Chains A and B, each alone.
Chain A
Amino acid sequence: AQSVTQLGSHVSVSEGALVLLRCNYSSSVPPYLFWYVQYPNQGLQLLLKYTTGATLVKGINGFEAEFKKSETSFHLTKPSAHMSDAAEYFCAVSDQPNQGGKLIFGQGTELSVKP
């Protein structure tokens, strides 16, 4: 069975500081990994994804994540936080699409950005 663990339900950074949101996964098959962002009172928006190939993936709004198989991790980073980055962030793992494509979500990390 697949699972996702996000370390830290709340992360607070100062504007301009590094953002690091941690995600570890468990999967019996090569995983597809995703980061989604949820702004207040909105649905989920895809930030980035890893399926195959390059392990460092870049997404929207300056975010990137690196797939590390040896560490079973897919941490999300951004070099310099902006006030508009304040939101809830979800890491998710999926079976490969031809096996159902269901998403298993982590518990989420709420990011606060201080001026």
Chain B
Amino acid sequence: SAVISQKPSRDICQRGTSLTIQCQVDSQVTMMFWYRQQPGQSLTLIATANQGSEATYESGFVIDKFPISRPNLTFSTLTVSNMSPEDSSIYLCSLRVQGSDTQYFGPGTRLTVL
């Protein structure tokens, strides 16, 4: 397995502001993903973070709201822009190592928007 860290682990933010979440892994991975877990709900894929190019977004998620960067193979950021209380969720980074069929998850960032 790989070691995945996320920062911050939790935050409380005001409506209308933006928060950038960082994901750092300890090995060079093929694919990195960002998921959202709304309160009491399951996980929903936001996007696949592509190294050196624009992320691939799932239906219902757009770049203006959730800009993603991945400048290298071990680091990615997700920004939650112009936040509203509906954005209160746990945001999780995950990765799949080259040659593996398994995704591993970071500890998550617990976001509360007031």
Contact = CB atoms under 8 A, between A and B. Distances in A.
Contact of B105 (A43, A94, A100, A104): A43
Q: Chain B's interface: helix, strand, loop or mixed, by majority? A: strand
A101 B107 contact: no
Contact of A43 (B31, B33, B101, B108): B108
A43 B101 CA distance: 19
Interface string B39-55: 00111110010000000
A90 B96 CA distance: 18
B31 A36 contact: no
Given A43-B92, A43-B108, A44-B92, A101 B103 contact: yes
Interface size class of A (residues with CB under 8 A): 20 to 34
A97 B96 contact: yes
Interface residues of B, number: 23
A64 to B, nearest CB: 17
A101 B105 contact: no
B101 A102 contact: no
Contact of B42 (A51, A94, A101, A107): A107
Closest 9 CB pairs of A and B: A44-B105, A43-B107, A43-B105, A105-B42, A105-B43, A43-B108, A107-B42, A97-B101, A108-B42
